[in-house]
Structure 1
Amino acid sequence: MNDSAPGSYRHLLAEVREAGLLRRRRGYYAVVITANLMVFAGAWVAFAFLGDTWWQLLIAAVLAVVFAQLAFVGHDAGHKQIFRTRRPNDAVGVVHGGLVGMSYQWWIDGHNRHHANPNHEDHDPDLDIPALAFTSGQARLKQGFLRWMAKNQAFLFFPLLTLEGLNLHVSGIRAVWRGETKMRRVEGALLTAHIAAYLTVVFLVLSPGLAVAFVVVHQALWGVYMGCSFAPNHKGMPTMTGRPVDFLQRQVLTSRNIRGGRMVDFVLGGLNYQIEHHLFPSMPRPHLRRAQPIVERFCLRHDIPYAQTGLLRSYRHVLEHLHQLGAPLRAADRVPSA
Structure 2
Amino acid sequence: MAISEVADYAHLTGADIEALGVEFDAIRRDIEASRGERDARYVHTVIRLQRSLEIGGRVVLFASVFPPAWLAGTAMLGTAKIIENMELGHNIMHGQWDWMNDPEIHSSSWEWDIAGVSAHWKQTHNYIHHKYTNVLGMDDDVGYGLLRVTRDQRWRPWSVGNPVYNLVLQLFFEYGVAFQHLELGKVTEGGVDRVEFMRRCREVAGKVGKQTAKDYVLYPALTGPAFLPTFTANLAANMIRNVWSNMVIFCGHFPDGAEKFTTADLDDETRGQWYLRQMLGSANFEAGTVMAFLSGNLCYQIEHHLFPDLPSNRLREISVRVRALCEKYDLPYTTGSLPVQYLKSWRTIAKLALPNQFLQATADDAPETASERRFADPKPRIDPVTGSRRGLLTALRDRAGV
Mark yes or no: TM-score above 0.5: yes
Per-residue CA deviation, residues 216-258 of structure 1 (Å, 9 max, x unaligned), is 4233222101101211001132111122162122100011111
Q: 2:118 is matched with which residue?
A: 104
Map of 1:278 onto structure 2: 305
Shift of 1:203: 4.3
In the alignment, what sits opposite 1:230? 249
Using the TM superposition, name which of 120-129 and 264-273 deviates more: 120-129
Equivalence for 1:220: 239
| Alpha-carbon shift at residue 116 of structure 1 (Å) | 0.7
Cα separation, 1, equivalents of 2:209 and 2:328: 52
Report the Cα distance in structure 2 between the residues aligned to 1:21 and 1:322, rounded to whole angstroms. Answer: 42
Corresponding residue number in structure 2 for 1:13: 25
The alignment yields a C-alpha RMSD, in angstroms, of 3.4
Residue 52 of structure 1 corresponds to 65
Which of 35, 47, 61 is residue 49 of structure 2 equivalent to? Answer: 35
Structure that is richer in helix per residue: 1
The answer for the alignment partner of 1:197 in structure 2 is 214
The answer (yes or no) to whether the contact 2:171–2:243 under 8 Å persists in 1 is: yes
CA radius of gyration, larger in: 2
AA matched with 1:110? T
2:119 maps to a residue whose letter is Q
Residues 276 and 192 (structure 1 numbering): CA distance in 2 closer, same or farther, change over 3 Å?
Answer: same
Give the share of equivalent positions with the same residue, in percent. 20
Structure 1, gaps ≥5 residues long: 333-338
Is 1:179 the counterpart of 2:179? The answer is no
Contact residue 81 and residue 237 of structure 2 kept, 8 A: no
* 2: CA distance, partners of 1:22 / 1:178: 45
TM-score by length of 2: 0.69
Going from structure 1 to structure 2, the CA distance change for 1:297 and 1:327 (only over 3 Å counts) comes to same
Task: Look up the match of 1:335.
Answer: none
Residue 134 of structure 1: which of 149, 166, 169 is its match? 149
Judge conservation of contact 2:78–2:237 (CA < 8 Å) in 1. Answer: yes
Equivalent residues of 1:9, 1:248 under 8 A apart: yes
Q: Which moved more, 1:225-234 or 1:299-308?
A: 299-308
Cα 1:123/1:86, change in 2 over 3 Å: farther
Partner residue, 1:4: 16
Kindly indicate whether the alpha-carbon contact (under 8 Å) linking 2:79 and 2:241 is maintained by their aligned counterparts in 1.
Answer: yes
Match of 2:77 in 1: 63
Q: Residue 264 of structure 1 aligns with which residue?
A: 291
Deviates more, 1:193-202 or 1:74-83: 193-202
Q: Which residue of 1 aligns with 2:327?
A: 300
**Corresponding residue of 2:96:** 81
Deviation at 1:124, TM superposition (A): 1.0
The aligned residue for residue 170 of structure 2 is 161
Report the CA distance between 1:168 and its aligned residue. 3.9
What one-letter code is carried by the residue in structure 2 that aligns with 1:243?
Answer: A
SS in 1 for 2:353: helix
| Structure 2 Cα separation of the partners of residues 203 and 167 of structure 1 | 27
2:159 counterpart of 1:147? yes
Counterpart of 2:260 in structure 1 is 239
Unaligned runs of 5+ in 2: 1-11, 185-195, 360-402
Partner of residue 378, structure 2: none
CA distance in 1 between partners of 2:27 and 2:227 (Å)? 58
**SS, match of residue 273 in structure 1:** helix
Distance in 2, Cα, partners of 1:69 & 1:316: 24
Contact 2:56/2:76 (8 A) holds in 1: no
Looking at structure 1, the residues matched to 31 and 105 of structure 2 have their Cα atoms a distance apart, in angstroms, of: 27
Q: TM-score, normalised by structure 1?
A: 0.81
Within 2, Cα distance between the matches of 1:170 and 1:66?
A: 24
